Every structure is written in C-alpha cells, then in structure tokens.
Chain A
Amino acid sequence: MLIVRIEPREFDTTSTQGARAHLRVLGLAAVVPLLVSLLLGGLIFLSNGIPPLHGLHAFFIAPLSDRLGLTELLVKAAPLALIACGLLFVFRANVWNIGAEGQFILGAIGATGTALFLVPQDSPFCLPALFLGGVIAGAAWAGVVAWLRAHLRVNEILCSLMLVYVAQLLLHWLVQSPWRDPQGYNFPETALFESSLMLPILVERTRLHLGVLFVVPAVALTWLLLNRSLFGLAISVAGRAPRAARFAGFSQKRIIWMTLLVSGGFAGLAGAVEVVGLTGQLVPRISPGYGFTAIIVAFLGGLHPLGVVAAALLVALTYLGGEAAQVTTQLPYAAAGIFQGLLLFSVLAFGFFSRHRVRFTRAVQRPAGQVLQASANLPANPSANSSTNPRVDL
C-alpha cells in the first residue's frame, strides 16, 4: 500500500542555508503558479481562437496601461480590502463570519437611509454621518450573528451566510417599494443623492473617489489592533488555543462579540463608501459579490493586513482583466471566469505546497503522534481541529 503523506515544510531560518532554502521555496511558490496560470490562460485563449500573447496582454497589461484602468483597479480593490481587513479579526479568532456580503449590503442601506431621511443637507457633519450610518448598520447585522453564536451557540457559519439572503431581500424590498425614486419610472433604485452628499472625485474624468483612501487608515488600524494591542493578543490566543485563552482570562463571548462587530463595521463602511463614493444611490446590484470575494482576499493575503491589500489588487485585476479580455479580444464571458478561477486556484494550491511537502512512502507504521502533529500544523481550517488523519490511501 502506498501512502501519500502531507507534512509541513520546516526551515531552519537561523542558518544561511536554511534561509536560502526557504527563500527558494517561497520564490518557486510565486513563480510556478504564475507560469502555470499563464500557460493555462494561453491555452484558454488559443482554444477560443485568440493569439495567446494578445490575450494575455489584454488580460493583464491593458487594464493597467492607462489612467482609466489604474483608477478602476483601485476603485474595485478598495471595498475588497476594507471588508477583508474586518475579516482578519474574525478569522484570526477562529470565528467564521461568511456573511460579510450581507453586512456590506446593510452598510449601503444604512448610508442611504441616513442620506434620504436623517441628514439636514447643509451640515458639515453630513458625510461623516453617512459613514457612521453604514458602520452601525453593518455592525448591527453582524451583531445578530454574534448574539446567536455567543448566547445561543448557533453555528455562526450558517447564520451569517443565511443573513446574507435576508439582507439581499431587504435591499430588494427597499428599492422596489418604500425608497424607490418617485421620478424613476418604477425602476428599482433610489433617487440620486445631492452632490453635497457625495465624496469628491480624486482624478478628473475617472471614478476614483476619496473613499479609496480610507483603505490606508483601515489597514494601519487593523495592523495596530491585531499586532500591538491586548485585543489582538486575545484574538490570536482564542483562535489558536481556546483553552489557553480561557485560562488567561479572555472571555470567549466578549471575543466573539468584539470581532464580529469590528468585522461587520468594516464591511458596513465598505458598503457606505460604495454608495457615497461611487453609485450615489442604492441599486439592487450594489455588490457584485464583494463580501464573498473578500474571504478569498483575506486568505490569499495570508491573514495579514498588507497581504490583504496586495491580494485585493490581484483579485481586482483578475476581474478587470476578464472584462477587458471580453471587450478587446471577444473572449467569452464564461472563459474569462474559468481563467480567473484557475489563477486563484493555482496561487492557493502552490502556496499550500510551499508550506507542505507531499511524501510517497511505503506503508510503515509510524507512531500515531507524528501524524497528528502534522495535521495540527495545517493552516487554520475547520478540519485542522478534528482528529482526521491527513493520509490518503491509494
């Protein structure tokens, strides 16, 4: 019997040789998936009758080669980075908030509601009030999850996910009935905000708005809170060793509440920024799935605030690239989606192999403890906590 064994790679980074080996593996983990996805992408283009180099140029370079592309990249990446920053708190604490999409939508609803009803138009506090409305609405939506999880022990994955659908239906109802633009021929959208309630545009004739800059303080704040505060320590300990956290006196309930509220607040802020900076009104398709994509972004960024920014840019590029490839090379919509998927898949897969090695061995009984240790070192995912054996019998 052949056994496939997945073991963590360990490098002695104190020695020069170990450090070099580590760097080599990390470098490979960056180069190989790129080459693989470029190759696969080339094949996809070729099979659609598009010269591969022309196609790859349209996918990766054309979107970055002019003012429009660069600004759109930032506009697309900003909400992803904001939501993912919030998700770092929950994911590091091992609280699985899958419902950032719903919290984003509530943020958009909160900001729009504030704009439509609460704010006197000429006050200097207008804009901050809109963002506050978004943050509170997003945090409140996540607060429902926190309450269910902390006090009723309801699975947070399920209830956060299902609240997304509730949020979407609430949004549809609002734009179709009570908040519908009275002059809009019954089309489901709200009236456009006054221009005094919109964020200024940073670059003339583009959609780059001031809200994109919110990412900078958000990332800094996330980094500070996670790495330089007691709150961050409590989150890390609770995430990695819940029992140790209890012994250290960190309240599990408090951590669930705090991380979910922060996460919902960030997603709500992103939703508010989208409405106040970009659309200027509430529309049924306010989010093209930002909340779900941000989960990928958080993990692609290695659950690190700066990594999240890079990942958000990368994922935004794949979206713009898919769209640009459709526009310039007539790549079918579905083929662009396949390429996006392959790209992310190969990055994640080779990232895994840079941290783990695969060994093929004959069946030799080893002490059970060693195998279990290997499984405990797997990256944070639900199966890491179970005692399943990572061996695959062939």
Chain B
Amino acid sequence: MVYLLPTGLHLGLHLVLHASLRRCLRMGLAVRFLGVLVLVVGLCALGVAPAHGQEDSPLKVAFVYLGPIGDHGWSYGHEQGRLAVQKHFGAQVETHFVEKIPEGPESERVFARLIQDGYKLIFANGYGHTRSAIRAARLDPEVRLEVATGSETSPQVALYSARFYEGRYIAGVIAGHLSQSGTAGYIASLPVPEVVRGINAFLLGMRSVNPDARLRLAWVHAWYDPPREADAARVLIGRGADILTQHTDSTAALGVAAEQGVKAFGLASDMHHFAPEIHLSSIVNLWDSYYIERVSAYLDGTWQSGRAWRGFDGGMLEMSAYHNMPAEVAEAARRVEAQIRAGDLQIFAGPLIDQAGAQRIAAGAVLDDTALLSMDWFLDGVDGSLP
C-alpha cells in the first residue's frame, strides 16, 4: 500500500487535471474510472486505518461453506456448529463464515485470504476444497485446516465426516416398510465413494424389510443446484419411485415430493417444516461437539491431523422425529437405530453381491473402512450406474 499510495495520487491527479492526457481520457470509461478510484482509494487509505489484529487477540476460526447458509441442509448444519463454537468459547475465539465458495481452484484464494487475515483454524465443508486447502496451508506453518468429507490429508490438513450411511440404512428400513411399488428414488450428486456408499446403505436397509426392493438413481452432478434437484425428483417420481431421498444440499426435492404427494426424507438438517405433510425424517448432521473438540485441541496445542469418522455413537448423526408413518414403522426404525448405536448391527455385512453378480464380500465378513472409503460399485438392485 505504501508504494501504491504516491503512485495512485499522482496518476489520479494526472487523469483529472492534466489536459495533455486528453487522449488517454477518451480511451475508455474504465481508464478514467480506475484513475479516480485509485485517487479516492489513496485518500481513504490515509484516513482509515487497516483493521489488523493485536497480539493477544482471540483465536480466529473460519468456516468456508460450499453453499449458502440458507440452503437449510448441509451448509446450514455446519453454520449451527459454528454458532455452537462461538457460544461455547465466547471471547476466546472469533469465528467467521464465508458462503458459496465453489469447489476447485477458486477456493484456494479464499483460503489464502483467510490465512492472510490471521485465521489459524479453518473448517471447509466441500469435498473438492481439499486440494486447495493443502496448497494454501503452505502460506503459514501455524495454520490448520479441516475439510469435511475431503479426499486426502496433510500434516496441516485433517478430514472429518459422519458415518452418514448409518442414517441412510435407517431411512432405507423405513422406505422398505412404506413403499408400495418397492422402488425408491435417490437423487445422487457426484459419483464419489461417499455418495456410492449412501446409495448402497439405503438399498441394504430397504432389502432388510423387502428383499425385492429396488433403488432408482438420478444424477445431478452437483452438491447444490436446487432447480436440477427438483428436476431429478420429478424424473424419479415419473419413473415409479414412491419414496424419495437425496444426496444434495437443498430442500428442493422435498418441495417437488410435497407437490406430487410422494413421501420423502430430508438430509443434513431437520427439513420437517418445509414439507410437513410428506416428510418422514431427516438424517441430521451434528457438528457442534466435533468443532468444539477441535477448537479446544488447537487452543491446547494438541491438534493433530487425521481422519475423524463418527456415526450415531460418536454424536455426529441423529434421526429427526419420525412423521407420516405408522407407529410400528417408527418403532422398527428406532430399534435399528439402537442396534447400530450399540454396535450390534453391521450394515455392510456379507454376503454382498454387486450389479455384475460378483460377490464383494463373503457371508460372515464385514467390509472394513478402507473398502468403504473407496467404494465404487453398486449392489445388485440399484437401477443406475456410475456416470
């Protein structure tokens, strides 16, 4: 800024006052505008002191969201976690969020800006933020980043995620009880293992009740794209699905389901009040305890990189209240939830047969986390394929 200032004043004065630059003035609006902007900005810079943090300032924690906090799903859920952190630590931390930051290279600039602004602990909630986070972390050896559902770790970048598939299985059990046609519809986002796992878990839940159940897929190729989510919902209903579920971030599918009188599940946050007449239950993500734990760890100097993956028993997941279903179905769902919580029920237990008819795991064995984290095949009974 120090170098810019005199140059800016000089250029600005020239552009406004000096008649010999007439040719330059005629050149374009932008040249003139930029000249004056530089002038005014230079003057402002003299008046306004930049807002730099002091030495004993609170720990600055940032949250980078893929969608808007108003999606009432994924990013909204993380925002609740941020509020919990702020409430829990009070003046010890200063939290900020940034919304609608797309996955991919553009996000690196946001991380770099946050790091430059003195944020030491940054949580990001996009799978595709991982690579940018790893690159940006090099700017400051003290900074630590965490990416929800991300793809790879580094000494400064940790991953965290919930075992969403546990909730998917319960949703599948409910769908198995309620579906008349035996076919449910699944709005799928991107073909990463996370999504594939959720699809297989839902089908396993359905088949635990109705062994002939089938699951139709519609890909929207995005995490958050309400119009396409709604289109996918229409397509699935049109093709005979009478229960809908989704792996996308908004409430759009619930809206379509309500319009057409088809029952549906919510995701990430309790979406009941968006479609009270057809909403069955939502798989709700709870980030409060994890965020509080990690901020504490950073404050104590015990933060370590790694991959946290917790389900019902780890407090990252819960099913919202059960609605629009007979009491015995809700009871069955609660029973399954208790079994999963207690570790009595293994969801990916053999024998599991994939679409091609190959046995992926034999009877008596259970898929381990490594297999779950790289899952790229569908069970027999899924109508759809990886795009």
Return the contact of B29 from the options A29, A53, A177, A285 (Cβ within 8 A): A29
Q: Which residues of A contact B33 (CB under 8 A)?
A: 30, 33-34, 314, 347
Q: Quick check: is A351 within 8 A (CB to CB) of the other chain?
A: yes
| B31 located at the interface, meaning its Cβ lies under 8 Å from any Cβ of chain A in the complex | yes
Pair A186/B191 contact, Cβ less than 8 Å: yes
Q: Is the CB of B151 within 8 A of A30?
A: no
19 example contacts (A-B, Cβ-Cβ < 8 A) are as follows A23-B19, A23-B25, A27-B16, A56-B44, A61-B50, A66-B1, A177-B387, A185-B192, A185-B193, A185-B374, A186-B193, A284-B104, A300-B28, A301-B31, A310-B34, A311-B30, A327-B98, A327-B114, A333-B99
- Segment among B35-43, B311-319, B345-353 that sits at the interface with chain A: B35-43
* B164 on the A face (CB < 8 A): no
Q: Are A285 and B19 in contact (CB under 8 A)?
A: no
Q: Which of B105-113, B166-174, B179-187 lines the interface with chain A?
A: B105-113
Query: Cβ of B32 and Cβ of A330 under 8 Å apart?
Result: no
Q: In the bound complex, how far is the Cα of B29 from the Cα of A33, in angstroms?
A: 11
Q: Is A249 an interface residue (CB 8 A)?
A: no
Compute how far the CA of A156 lies from the CA of B127 in the bound complex, rounded to whole angstroms: 39
CB distance A323 to B29 under 8 Å? no
Which B positions have Cβ atoms within 8 angstroms of A? 1, 4, 15-16, 19, 22, 25-37, 40-41, 44-45, 47-48, 50-51, 62, 68, 96-100, 102-106, 108-110, 112-114, 116-117, 127-128, 138-139, 151, 190-193, 196, 221, 374, 376, 386-387
Determine if A64 is an interface residue (Cβ-Cβ < 8 Å). yes
Of the candidates A22, A285, A327, the one whose C-beta lies within 8 Å of that of B113 is A327
Query: Among A56, A61, A311, A332, which residue has its beta carbon within 8 angstroms of that of B28?
Result: A311
Report chain B residues within 8 Å CB of A310: 28, 30-31, 34
- Chain B residues near A151: list those with CB within 8 A: none
Which residues of chain B have C-beta atoms less than 8 A from A60's C-beta? 37, 41, 44
Interface size class of A (residues with CB under 8 A): 35 or more
Q: Which residues of B contact A390 (CB under 8 A)?
A: none
Given contact pairs A54-B48, A283-B105, A328-B51, A188 touches B221 in the complex (Cβ within 8 A)? yes
Let me know if A68 and B30 touch, CB within 8 A: no
Binding site for B on A (CB under 8 A): 13, 19-20, 22-23, 26-27, 29-31, 33-34, 38, 53-54, 56-57, 60-62, 64-66, 68-69, 72, 172, 176-177, 184-189, 205, 207, 278-279, 283-285, 288, 297, 300-304, 306-308, 310-311, 313-314, 320, 323-324, 326-328, 330, 332-333, 347-348, 351
Contact of B22 among A19, A57, A68, A332 (CB under 8 A): A19
Q: Within the assembled complex, what's the spacing in Å between the Cα atoms of A166 and B109?
A: 29
Main secondary structure of the interface of B (DSSP, over half): helix
Q: Which A residues are in CB contact (< 8 Å) with B151? A: 184-185, 187
B116 pairs with A68, CB closer than 8 A: yes
Knowing A33-B33, A66-B116, A314-B37, the reply to whether A323 touches B110 (Cβ < 8 A) is yes
**Nearest CB of chain B from residue A100's CB, rounded to whole Å:** 18
Is A327 a contact of B96 with CB atoms below 8 Å? yes
Complex CA distance for A72 and B105, rounded to whole angstroms: 12
| Shortest beta-carbon contacts, A-B, top 4 | A307-B28, A302-B28, A311-B30, A30-B32
Bound-state Cα–Cα, A187 to B192, Å: 6
Nearest CB in chain B: distance from A21 CB, A: 12
**Across-interface contacts of B26 in A (CB, < 8 A):** 26, 302
**Contact between A307 and B45, CB atoms less than 8 A apart:** no
Q: Smallest Cβ distance from B67 to chain A, in angstroms?
A: 10
Are A19 and B19 neighbours in the complex by a CB distance under 8 Å?
Answer: yes
- Complex CA gap A192/B138 in Å reads 18
CA distance A323 to B113 in the complex (A): 9
A207 CA to B96 CA in the complex, in Å? 25
**Chain B residues within an 8 Å CB radius of A332:** 99
Task: Determine the distance from Cα of A179 to Cα of B205 in the docked complex, in whole angstroms.
Answer: 34
Nearest CB on A from B364, distance (A): 28
CA distance A328 to B118 in the complex (A): 11
**Known contacts A30-B16, A57-B50, A333-B99; A301 and B30 CB within 8 A of each other:** yes
What's the minimum C-beta distance from B225 to chain A, rounded to whole angstroms?
A: 12
Most buried by A among B1, B32, B138: B32
Bound form: Cα–Cα A106–B299 in Å: 48
Question: How far does the alpha carbon of A22 sit from the alpha carbon of B32 in the complex, in Å?
Answer: 13
Please indicate the chain A residues that have their CB under 8 angstroms from the CB of B106 in the complex.
285, 288
Residue of B with least CB distance to A311: B30
In the bound complex, what is the Cα–Cα distance between A53 and B50 (angstroms)? Answer: 11
Q: Contact: B27 with A65, CB < 8 Å?
A: no
Contacts of B4 in A (CB 8 A): 64-65
Contact A351 B29 (CB under 8 A): yes
Pick the most buried of A185, A188, A189: most chain B CB atoms within 10 A of its CB. A185
- Taking a contact as CB atoms under 8 Å apart, the answer to whether A347 and B103 are in contact is no
A sample of 10 more A-B contacts (CB under 8 A), given A54-B48, A62-B50, A328-B51, is A19-B19, A19-B22, A27-B32, A38-B40, A57-B48, A64-B4, A177-B387, A300-B28, A310-B31, A310-B34
Minimum CB–CB distance from A14 to chain B (whole Å) comes to 12
Identity of the chain A residue whose Cβ is nearest the Cβ of B128 in the assembled complex? A187
Partner of B221, one of A26, A176, A288, A307: A176
